[in-house]
Amino acid sequence: MYDQINVFFPAIIYLGNQFVQTIKQETYIENPATKKWHLFQFNYPSGKNWKAVISNKTSFSPKCPSIHVTKFQSHEQFFEATSNKAKYSPINSKFAYLTPMGASRHNLFYALNVDEKFRHIGLTQMLDGWVKPDIQKIVPIQLMPSGRIIPLAHGTTLPKRFQTVHTPLVPSEQGAYNLHVAKEALKSDLPDGAVLLLSLMIEISTQSFGGVLPGVDITLGGFIDTQANEIINGKWQILPAQMRMLRALFREANGWWDWIWDAQGNFRPIFQPNLA
């Protein structure tokens, strides 16, 4: 068995006479020999779909005619053929989500405004790899249920609830932390909610102590069971909105994050699902 992980990205397409939010999916498989991750399948709303198939059957025929299929005789052949694009982590974008629901909840995009018409809608001001044009022509936008796009003021950021989901999933030297967080979050009933919970715990601990200290997770867990609307106790500072969100995400994720020292001496968060 080879470790596999799915990553979901929010996207907007123009369908008929209106804009529609959708998702694109990428599936990666880990090469156990190199610990690198290889793109195994992708499905984009543009119709650019591809899938690798590992099969040594001579009479093989793809069952997905709408997806371009590349056949490999073995996993070793697949890993060798795709080695130049292998990654240390498939979670290399701050807009990556672990479930389709998480990607569908995303609500802030960017677009290139050309003569009051929106072009090249993307997730970042780099517009998914486009050469960066005049910054004043790139505007944050939101998609309305009617299919219309509403331009927002420059400098608009994601609402707090959505902004925090991206905090742990950012590029790192080899993406090891991102991958660790993703694998741990997948233990949750709602993985993207678990990532949100982790981000909020880090946010609260950092604003109170400047970082995550041993035992912070235990104290925060104790606050969940109190009736307090906010915490101002010594260095602890938890705002009312943070307390409400902390309790809501604890229920959504159905679990809690503990920080432990692993065998390699790393201080890392571990997700503990509620078993009750």
Indicate the pTM of the whole model.
0.81
Average pLDDT value for the chain: 82
pLDDT band at 172 (very low <50, low <70, confident <90, very high): low
With a cut of 50, say whether residue 166 has pLDDT above it: no
**CA–CA separation, 276 vs 253, rounded Å?**
13
pLDDT at residue 126 in the model: 47
Per-residue pLDDT averaged across 43-55, rounded? 87
Model pLDDT for residues 207-254, shown as the tens digit of each residue:
888 888 888 899 888 888 877 777 777 777 888 888 888 999 999 999
With a cut of 90, say whether residue 40 has pLDDT above it: yes
pLDDT at residue 34 in the model: 93
The CB-side HSE value for 138 (13 A sphere, CA atoms) comes to 20
- The answer to whether the beta carbons of residues 215 and 205 sit under 8 Å apart is no
Query: Two tokens at 249?
Result: 């995400």
pLDDT at residue 128 in the model: 46
How does strand 138-143 pair with strand 231-233? Answer: unpaired
Query: Two tokens at 166?
Result: 């991206």
Please return the burial class of 176, using the count of CB atoms within 10 Å of its CB with bins 0-12, 13-18 and 19+.
middle
How does strand 138-143 pair with strand 109-114? Answer: antiparallel
Per-residue pLDDT averaged across 42-55, rounded? 88
pLDDT at residue 250 in the model: 92
Three-class HEC string of 100-158: HHHHHHCCCEEEEEECCEEEEEECCCCCCCCCCCCHHHEEEEEECCCCCEEECCCCCCC
Tell me which of 127-136, 137-146, 260-269 is least confident.
127-136
- Helical pair 216-224 and 240-253, crossing angle rounded to 10 deg: 90
pLDDT at residue 159 in the model: 59
With a cut of 70, say whether residue 65 has pLDDT above it: no
**CA–CA separation, 144 vs 35, rounded Å?**
42
pLDDT at residue 173 in the model: 56
**CA–CA separation, 185 vs 261, rounded Å?**
18
Model pLDDT for residues 88-120, shown as the tens digit of each residue:
888 877 778 999 988 888 888 888 887 777 777
pLDDT at residue 115 in the model: 75
